[in-house]
């Protein structure tokens, strides 16, 4: 089973990535018709007492979500889909151990999620598959009358971003990108400080995904079966949302401001080649060729003139960082290490540890004793994002993140690739809300 799964993922990645991945930029005016006027709020669905879920892809991250969902009230995990039957059965055992009926398993092949979406009576389909499968699962779910949620990024092309938006609007279904870093304690404190005006007028942000993944990419199981394939064919920011999501929320992107332009460039590609050279002489991976620049940098501008520095590096030896920086007219808060400087409050030109400010500016969600006790999944932020999704669905409220956020953040993948290919030429960011960004309310600050 392990060998066939490995062959499938590698073959699927090759087919998906070898196609004409970056098509000519679509003209926004040719996309779906303008939304109905007079709708100032993001989409909300009727409340549901219980959320019946089908889960697609229960590897490492998918299993974490399953465990989180099983710990939440009002959740029924009804179906599990995975190309590895052992993964599906392991998830089913967790569901039964939690006191729920055994789920229906869908393990007949790479597109068995379509059968799940068509046959199961569900409210939500959640996917934690490799990147190239996010959009097919989301579209199938919505077209069969289910809400949809996905791991990041939601999509890897502009056309797919538009297709998610158009389908969610047409089917009147939620399509949520589960960006866990939006819920980290430090990033949520940044949001609170911004809303309370402590930083003054917000002018600039810095966001990144800086994570040495060389050993992960060359692993013979897990993400190594597909992550490395993207490095062979694409040169840009392949994973922009972890750093960009929290900065976008603080800047009210799609809720009073929006991304307008991005320029990007990449360094030479070296890190994977050096790792590759350490492989045994007969390892077939020594014949691979990589094009992903070790460092990709981009500058994003918003409709209000704000600037964002966005970076990606998964090929170099370096400690993990998301940068997580917000600069305002009265101060700055910056991550890795987490630190703060407020004019008139911090000493001289020095930094203060962020921990000093949690007592005053901690987000209400992180003040919850239950949240503080749930460290499952990246220190608890995975649990928090799952909790908020279920809470919104059960109450019939707009989800924290919506399909327009999924599209705007994920669009940076293709836009940075285009800009790099064109020598740093500026790229226009589509307005996926078609003007409603100026009326949508801010991301709410809620309590648990």
The DSSP string of 407-442 is HHHHTHHHHHHHHHHTTS--EEPP-TTTTGGGTSPP
pLDDT at 39: 64
SS3 percent helix, strand, coil of the chain, rounded to 5, is 40, 15, 40
Architecture category of domain 48-177 in CATH: 3-Layer(aba) Sandwich (3.40)
pLDDT at 36: 44
pLDDT at 173: 98
pLDDT at 92: 98
- pLDDT tens for the chain, residues 1 to 448: 333 444 444 444 443 443 333 333 333 433 544 444 456 679 999 999 999 999 999 999 999 999 999 999 999 999 999 999 999 999 999 999 999 999 999 999 999 999 999 999 999 999 999 999 999 999 999 999 999 999 999 999 999 999 999 999 999 999 999 999 999 999 999 999 999 999 999 999 999 999 999 999 999 998 998 999 999 999 999 999 999 999 999 999 999 999 999 999 999 999 999 999 999 999 999 999 999 999 999 999 999 999 999 999 999 999 999 999 999 999 999 999 999 999 999 999 999 999 999 999 999 999 988 777 766 556 789 999 999 999 999 999 999 999 999 999 999 999 999 999 999 999 999 999 999 999 999 988 998 8
pLDDT at 369: 80
* Cα Dmax for the chain: 65
CA-CA-CA-CA dihedral for 164, 170, 174, 176, to nearest 10: 10
pLDDT at 370: 73
Contact 265, 424 (CB under 8 A): yes
pLDDT at 41: 79
Which tokens go with 184? 């980290």
- Inter-axis angle of helices 112-119 and 134-143, nearest 10: 20
Taking the C-alpha atoms of residue 265 and residue 268, their distance in angstroms, rounded to an integer, is 10
pLDDT at 9: 47
Taking the C-alpha atoms of residue 316 and residue 266, their distance in angstroms, rounded to an integer, is 13
| Model confidence, pTM | 0.93
Contact 55, 27 (CB under 8 A): no
CA distances from 441 to 39, 154, 242, 365 (A): 11, 22, 22, 20
| Burial class of 134 by CB neighbour count within 10 A (0 to 12, 13 to 18, 19+) | buried
Contact 137, 148 (CB under 8 A): yes
pLDDT at 332: 98
Residue spans of the domains in the chain: they are 48-177, 182-368+402-438
pLDDT at 312: 98
Match domain 182-368+402-438 to its CATH number in 3.30.360.10, 3.90.1570.10, 3.40.50.150, 3.10.20.30. Answer: 3.30.360.10
């Amino acid at each position: 089973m392990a060998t066939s799964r490995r062959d499938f993922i590698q073959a699927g990645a090759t087919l998906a990535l070898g196609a004409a991945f970056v098509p000519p930029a679509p003209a926004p005016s040719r996309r779906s018709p303008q939304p109905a006027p007079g709708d100032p709020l993001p989409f909300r669905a009727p409340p549901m007492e219980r959320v019946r879920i089908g889960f697609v892809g229960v590897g490492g991250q998918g299993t974490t979500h399953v465990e989180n969902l099983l710990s939440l009230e009002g959740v029924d995990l009804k179906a599990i889909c995975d190309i590895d039957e052992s993964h599906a059965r392991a998830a089913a055992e967790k569901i039964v151990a939690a006191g729920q009926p055994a789920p229906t398993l869908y393990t007949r092949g790479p597109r068995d999620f379509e059968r799940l979406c068509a046959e199961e009576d569900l409210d939500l389909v959640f996917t934690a598959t490799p990147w190239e499968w996010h959009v097919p699962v989301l579209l199938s779910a919505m077209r069969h009358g289910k809400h949809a949620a996905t791991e990041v990024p939601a999509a890897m092309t502009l056309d797919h971003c538009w297709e998610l938006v158009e389908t969610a609007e047409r089917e009147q279904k939620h399509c949520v990108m589960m960006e866990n870093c939006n819920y980290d304690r430090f990033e949520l404190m940044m949001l609170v400080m911004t809303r309370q005006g402590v930083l003054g007028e917000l002018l600039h942000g810095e966001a990144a995904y800086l994570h040495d993944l060389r050993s992960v990419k060359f692993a013979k199981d897990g993400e190594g079966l597909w992550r490395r394939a993207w490095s062979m064919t694409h040169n840009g920011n392949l994973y922009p949302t972890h750093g960009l999501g929290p900065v976008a929320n603080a800047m009210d992107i799609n809720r009073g401001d929006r991304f307008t332009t991005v320029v990007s460039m990449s360094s030479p590609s070296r890190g994977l080649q050096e790792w590759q050279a350490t492989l045994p002489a007969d390892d077939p991976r020594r014949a691979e060729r990589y094009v992903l620049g070790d460092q990709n940098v981009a500058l994003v501008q918003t409709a209000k003139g704000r600037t964002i520095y966005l970076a990606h590096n998964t090929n170099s030896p370096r400690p993990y960082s998301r940068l997580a920086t917000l600069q305002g007219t009265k101060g700055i808060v910056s991550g890795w290490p987490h630190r703060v400087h407020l004019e008139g409050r911090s000493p001289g030109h020095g930094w203060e540890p962020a921990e000093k400010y949690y007592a005053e500016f901690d987000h209400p969600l992180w003040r919850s004793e239950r949240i503080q006790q749930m460290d499952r999944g990246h220190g608890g932020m995975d649990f928090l994002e799952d909790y908020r999704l279920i809470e919104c669905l059960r109450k019939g409220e707009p989800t924290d993140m919506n399909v327009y956020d999924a599209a705007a953040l994920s669009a940076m993948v293709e836009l940075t690739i285009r800009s790099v290919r064109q020598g740093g030429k500026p790229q226009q960011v589509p307005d996926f809300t078609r003007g409603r960004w100026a009326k949508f309310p801010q991301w709410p600050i809620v309590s648990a």
